């Protein structure tokens, strides 16, 4: 999996991934134009949509109702270092028995984004070597 992000202007960036394009920006209060979600909002949306995917797969496999499923994802900022320090996911799948509630909880906790955030992934950062200057004739 790979993405490519390029600077547009101000605080706006375009990321290409899997044939899609995503615009991120900052709100006007943060010096942006609010032309897209912030990177932190995108991370939260990734967690919520991943949880929803795993919830639907659980419900579908057991022929339980799919309509009305709602996922709410919340995050609270932490400091030193700056980060999102607390995530909370609320799943509303309607009325179901306790057995399926426990199964749904296990399924949502199996979400890859959830697992990525809770297991301390490795992030490697490198600065690309400078490109040689192009001489014009």
- pLDDT tens for 16-72 read 999 999 999 999 999 999 999 999 999 999 999 999 999 999 999 999 999 989 999
Q: Are residues 25 and 87 in the same domain?
A: no
In a domain, 133, yes or no: no
Of the candidates 67, 73, 77, the residue with the CA atom closest to the CA atom of residue 46: 73
Which structural domain range is residue 22 located in? 1-36
Q: What is this structure's pTM? A: 0.88
Q: Are residues 17 and 51 in the same domain?
A: no
Contacts of 32 (CB under 8 A, 6+ apart): 10, 11, 12, 25, 26
Q: Are residues 99 and 47 in the same domain?
A: yes
pLDDT tens digit string along 80-92?
999 999 999 999 9
Taking 3-state DSSP, the helix, strand and coil percentages for the chain, each rounded to the nearest 5, stand at 35, 30, 40
């Amino acid at each position: 999996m790979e993405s490519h992000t390029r600077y547009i202007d101000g605080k706006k960036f375009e990321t290409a991934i899997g044939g899609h394009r995503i615009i991120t920006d900052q709100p006007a209060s943060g010096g942006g134009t609010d032309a897209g979600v912030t990177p932190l909002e995108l991370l939260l949306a990734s967690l919520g949509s991943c949880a929803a995917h795993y919830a639907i797969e659980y419900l579908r496999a057991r022929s339980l109702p799919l309509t009305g499923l709602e996922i709410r994802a919340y995050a609270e900022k932490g400091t030193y270092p700056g980060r999102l320090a607390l995530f909370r996911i609320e799943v509303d799948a309607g009325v179901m028995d306790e057995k399926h509630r426990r199964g749904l909880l296990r399924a949502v906790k199996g979400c890859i984004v959830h697992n990525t955030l809770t297991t301390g992934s490795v992030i490697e950062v490198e600065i690309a070597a400078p490109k040689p200057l192009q001489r014009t004739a």
